[in-house]
């Protein structure tokens, strides 16, 4: 029995719903063709509110977007597999494309007689700006050539009369190069490099410098001067027999000082002046402190033996007394003085080290009369050919006599005024007893002043009665009006 209300319609079945949807699709028709909107962008659409899409190709001269060519879709690539299911269609193997006759197959060697076709090159386009730029470059004046300083002439040293030997470690080798460059223009000075890089005074198994210096002095009796720079490898334990002592310990200092004395003794007995060059600061702070201690020890021993010690520390530090790799060279120009390891020297640094030793070396040469001088190329007339008197400007050997003549010609200076004599201060003053008060026979203190009379009564009125003192005319407490 159907219990549904009579006024409600029956629901549609699924078949009826599908039929209605198919009818609606047929009535709607196909979508509008592309021709209704224009298959290209040349003609604007009919809808005035339609904004065409802006492709990446830019715009034409009339303001509309330039159409982009449609690229054909790439052909589908068939994957190559070694296994196919029975229901799958296996792709057919296609033969590889063969190149035209006379051409090479890609990935293989070309056939004999094959010549690669030459591609014509496009001619170079010279614009007006390029021509103007080239003309301007031709008109531009060329910069002046850099003036390079000519190298120093190398003076041949056939038979030098002064021989300077340099002993020490790797730093001494730089010292020898700098000294050799300093005396490169002097034919009378020859520098002999006797340094050894890994040596020192601590290890005698590498070089025993006391014995080595003694043997060299015996083989070269004509040696004039000697330079010594050693210690960069000496911050290590020192062995004495079967015992080993830590660097810069008390026993280490005694043994190291004895070895310094042995080296100095070899030159002192041979009567060869020795210039001992100290160690410079280095990049490592701990090494710098130890090298400063070694310098103090060596300086004391060298000066005690009567030889010359040269301190180069201040030439390689900044204004805060710290290590610096750069600094002024011997000509005052800023230059790099130390190498990348922070220990050794560059060519400018080697020349600066040699400058410190060069000053002392020339001083010793002048004291011994062996300072090299340039010989005159032409004879100098020392007498007047007419009367035999000394010619004007002729050099005289008696420089002391010339100084005395110049001093005699100078006017005498006025005597300074005498210093006024000051009164002599006594060693002690009058004796005053502190235990009792000195009084006069009348009963008053001896040091007291005689009392003056109080004619105005100011003290009596102020101190006894507490009244204010009378105002004085013109004083600040004078309030009388009109002012009197």
How confident is the model over 110-136, as a mean pLDDT? 63
pLDDT at 77 over 70: no
% of the chain with per-residue pLDDT over 90: 35
Mean of per-residue pLDDT scores for the chain: 75
Enter the tokens of residue 166. 């340099």
pLDDT at 137 over 60: yes
pLDDT at 178 over 80: yes
% of the chain with per-residue pLDDT over 70: 57
| pLDDT (0 to 100) of residue 161 | 86
Q: What is the pLDDT of residues 288-318, one digit of tens each?
A: 999 999 999 999 999 999 999 999 999 999 9
Q: What is the pLDDT of residues 343-391, one digit of tens each?
A: 999 999 999 999 999 989 988 888 776 554 444 333 444 444 444 444 4
The reported pTM is 0.49
Q: What is residue 217's three-state secondary structure?
A: helix
Structure-model confidence comparison of residues 38 and 452, the more confident one: 452
| pLDDT (0 to 100) of residue 383 | 44
Cβ(99)–Cβ(109) under 8 Å? no
Enter the tokens of residue 170. 């790797």
Weakest mean pLDDT among 230-234, 260-264, 465-469: 465-469
Of 215, 97, 227, the closest CA to residue 173 belongs to: 227
**Cα–Cα distance for residue pair 336/283, rounded to 1 Å:** 14
Identify the H or E element spanning 190.
strand 189-195
Other Cβ atoms less than 10 A from the Cβ of 23: the count is 10
Per 3-state DSSP, what percentage of the chain is helix, strand, and coil (rounded to 5)?
30, 10, 60
Cβ(209)–Cβ(201) under 8 Å? yes
Write down the residue that tokens 């301007």 correspond to: 136
Q: Alpha helices of 4-113 — where are they, by DSSP H?
A: 14-28, 34-37
| pLDDT (0 to 100) of residue 16 | 76
Strands (E), 259-321: 274-277, 308-310
All structural domains of the chain? 162-311+355-368 (3.40.50.1110)
Weakest mean pLDDT among 34-38, 66-70, 108-112: 34-38
Write down the residue that tokens 């011997």 correspond to: 330
**Cα–Cα distance for residue pair 267/261, rounded to 1 Å:** 10
Cβ(87)–Cβ(74) under 8 Å? no
| pLDDT (0 to 100) of residue 102 | 56
- Band (pLDDT 50/70/90 cuts) for residue 474 is confident
| pLDDT (0 to 100) of residue 390 | 47
């Amino acid at each position: 029995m159907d219990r549904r209300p009579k006024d409600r319609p029956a629901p549609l079945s699924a078949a009826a719903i599908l039929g209605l949807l198919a009818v609606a699709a047929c009535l709607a028709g196909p979508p509008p063709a592309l021709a209704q909107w224009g298959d290209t962008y040349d003609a604007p659409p009919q809808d005035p509110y339609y904004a065409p899409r802006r492709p990446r190709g830019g715009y034409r001269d009339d303001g509309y977007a330039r159409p982009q060519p449609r690229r054909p879709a790439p052909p589908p690539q068939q994957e190559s597999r070694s296994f196919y299911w029975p229901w799958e269609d296996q792709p057919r193997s296609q033969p590889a494309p063969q190149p035209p006759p006379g051409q090479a197959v890609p990935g293989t060697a070309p056939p004999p007689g094959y010549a690669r076709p030459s591609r014509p090159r496009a001619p170079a386009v010279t614009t007006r700006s390029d021509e103007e730029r080239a003309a301007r470059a031709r008109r531009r004046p060329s910069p002046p050539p850099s003036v390079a300083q000519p190298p120093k002439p190398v003076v041949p040293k056939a038979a030098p009369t002064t021989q300077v030997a340099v002993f020490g470690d790797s730093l001494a080798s730089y010292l020898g190069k700098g000294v050799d460059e300093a005396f490169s223009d002097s034919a009378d000075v020859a520098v002999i490099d006797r340094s050894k890089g890994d040596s020192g005074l601590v290890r005698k198994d590498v070089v025993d410098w006391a014995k080595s210096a003694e043997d060299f002095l015996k083989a070269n009796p004509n040696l004039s001067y000697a330079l010594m720079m050693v210690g960069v490898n000496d911050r290590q334990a020192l062995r004495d027999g079967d015992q080993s002592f830590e660097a810069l310990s008390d026993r280490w200092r005694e043994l190291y000082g004895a070895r310094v004395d042995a080296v100095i003794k070899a030159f002192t007995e041979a009567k060869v002046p020795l210039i001992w060059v100290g160690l410079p600061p280095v990049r490592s702070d701990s090494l710098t402190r130890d090298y400063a201690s070694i310098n103090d020890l060596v300086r004391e021993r060298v000066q005690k033996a009567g030889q010359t010690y040269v301190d180069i520390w201040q030439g390689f530090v900044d204004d805060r007394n710290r290590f610096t790799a750069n600094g002024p060279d011997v000509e005052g120009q800023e230059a790099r003085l130390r190498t990348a390891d922070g220990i050794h020297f560059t060519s400018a640094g080697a020349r600066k080290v040699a400058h410190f030793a060069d000053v002392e070396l020339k001083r010793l040469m002048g004291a011994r009369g062996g300072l090299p001088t340039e010989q005159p190329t032409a004879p100098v007339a020392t007498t007047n050919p007419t009367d035999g008197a000394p010619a004007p400007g002729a050099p005289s050997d008696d420089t002391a006599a010339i100084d005395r003549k110049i001093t005699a010609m100078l006017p005498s200076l006025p005597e300074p005024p005498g210093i006024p004599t000051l009164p002599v201060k006594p060693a002690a003053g009058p004796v005053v007893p502190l235990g009792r008060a000195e009084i006069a026979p009348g009963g008053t203190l001896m040091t007291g002043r005689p009392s003056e009379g109080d004619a105005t009564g100011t003290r009596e009125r102020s101190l006894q009665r507490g009244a204010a003192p009378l105002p004085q005319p013109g004083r600040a407490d004078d309030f009388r009006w009109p002012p009197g």
